[in-house]
Amino acid sequence: MRKLIINAALAFLMVSAVCGQAHIDARGLGLCNAYTVTSRGVSAIGYNPANLGYTEDLTFSANLLDFRIKAYNNFMSLALFNQYFTGDRNGAPFDLETKKPGTNQTHKQFLLSEIPEEGFAVGLGISVPLPLLNLSFGNYAFTSGVEYYMKNSLPRGLFEFAMDGNKIGKSLDLALAQDILMVTNFAFSFAIPFEKYNVGVTIKYLAGIGFAGVDSSGGSLNTRASGLESDGFYRYTRAIGGSGLGVDLGFNTRKKDNWQFGVAITNVIGFINWGNSDNFIAKNISLIEGLVPIRDLLQISVDSAAFSASTLYTMDMQDVNVSGAFANSDSLFKFKERPVAMPDSLRLNYPAIFRMGASYQYNNDFILMGDLSAGLDDYYFADRSWRLALAAEWIRFKMVPIRSGLAFGGRHGREASLGAGVHLIWFDADLALKLLGGMSFATAEGIEFGISFQFKR
């Protein structure tokens, strides 16, 4: 149990530390991901491979540098932090027992109501295409990259216990979640152009580096007249080395009266088989662990041929009270851990995402874009709730495009983005920032930043 607590603490100390979601360059990030129709060249991969068919717009492209990082939580904003955790005007701690103006709710009750039922979650995502290994030629493309995803959540019950105390007869849920995933992908994409439309396909080899997560948890903390009781449990599963396949499909129309439409499904087929010996990581484990002790970090035995492990942690408390604490302090809490049998290979499905979009270009002044998307699964980087993104790009001065977008729905509820670039004849440089969970720096609960340099022709 102590190891699980240490792992969770380290994850939170890494600062809100998502992979797998299609990599998006800085231009697409500045458009708030309204990119199903307007992405071109190597930037279309992961969103809509059919856009490779627009060879009249771009015949060759190569990423020189492309980097995206995303950090978020589902509760705390700068405005909320400044209001409650920096003291009052005199520097004294804020009194949470006072009532909010115009309501019968105390500030403490308000804070607890802001924490979602699934608990306080933080997440981090990093996506880095490999330099010089992301190219498009005509209607073909080869891409590759490394993606890292991490999301951790603490049960809401812990915050209720800390702020509201342990009321007799109340049960506090102790379920928590943790997901860590690191994958390298290599993809080949092509588009088939027709007179009025294009179709495109991406085929990806997914080389899993490692994953870890709490795939089952539960139990509760109860306060009885006789004392505290708890039956919390957490199953922590991890593996290194995986291999799998992903397939993306895309369709779009040719421009008609300056309008374009498109639809795409990312990972219509997607899976990774983890923990077997038939993959690059397992075959080169000695070389890799000379640099990073990956099995030690994930608590996988180095003395066996296994590349996966699962452990069940339990915490039992029975009638814990003050008198019992003084009488026998060594046995108040019972923490146990035991290994759980694992199959030789563990298969994880890669989440699928559906997108459809439209764009309209007004002369050579600006482009308006809209995207509607939703995950077909509800884990890792996919979310089944619908997300609507609207964006505009001002292109009157082609050397210095300016773009902005808004989004509603999806995992973060509200998003706002802003980006700009310097576009020369053979070279594009773009920069973008997106706010997550709010429309301003004060109300946002996370940020996403991207920068990209691209050679084009």
Q: Please give the residue range of the domain that contains residue 214.
A: 2-75+115-349+424-456
> What is the predicted pLDDT for the residue at 409?
96
> What is the predicted pLDDT for the residue at 320?
58
Q: Is the pLDDT of residue 5 over 50?
A: no
CB 215 within 8 A of CB 235: yes
Most confident of 161-165, 191-195, 292-296: 191-195
Identify the residue with better confidence: 14 or 267.
267
Identify the residue with better confidence: 180 or 197.
197
Exposed / middle / buried, residue 295 (Cβ in 10 Å: 0-12, 13-18, 19+): buried
How many angstroms separate the CA atoms of 311 and 213, rounded?
Answer: 11
Q: Is the pLDDT of residue 102 over 70?
A: yes
pLDDT band at 41 (very low <50, low <70, confident <90, very high): very high
How many angstroms separate the CA atoms of 176 and 29, rounded?
Answer: 31
> What is the predicted pLDDT for the residue at 20?
40
Which of 81-90, 112-121, 128-137, 229-238 comes out lowest in average pLDDT?
A: 81-90
Q: What is the mean pLDDT of residues 88-111?
A: 86
pLDDT band at 287 (very low <50, low <70, confident <90, very high): confident
> What is the predicted pLDDT for the residue at 328?
52
pLDDT band at 8 (very low <50, low <70, confident <90, very high): very low
CB 339 within 8 A of CB 310: yes
pLDDT band at 90 (very low <50, low <70, confident <90, very high): confident
Most confident of 15-29, 81-95, 307-321: 81-95
The tokens of 71 are what?
A: 């950090």
pLDDT band at 332 (very low <50, low <70, confident <90, very high): low
Is residue 167 domain-resident?
yes
> What is the predicted pLDDT for the residue at 323?
52
> What is the predicted pLDDT for the residue at 221?
82
Picking from 314, 312, 310, the residue whose alpha carbon sits closest to that of residue 343 is 310
CB 174 within 8 A of CB 229: no
334-381 pLDDT, tens per residue?
A: 778 888 887 767 888 889 999 999 999 999 999 999 999 999 988 777
> What is the predicted pLDDT for the residue at 144?
93
Q: Is the pLDDT of residue 326 over 60?
A: no
Picking from 19, 18, 20, 30, the residue whose alpha carbon sits closest to that of residue 266 is 20
Is residue 182 domain-resident?
yes
Mean pLDDT taken over the chain: 86
Q: Is the pLDDT of residue 101 over 80?
A: yes
- The tally of domains found in the chain comes to 1
CB 61 within 8 A of CB 189: no
Is residue 412 domain-resident?
no
Is residue 385 domain-resident?
no
Is residue 433 domain-resident?
yes
Is residue 284 domain-resident?
yes
> What is the predicted pLDDT for the residue at 142?
96
Exposed / middle / buried, residue 109 (Cβ in 10 Å: 0-12, 13-18, 19+): middle
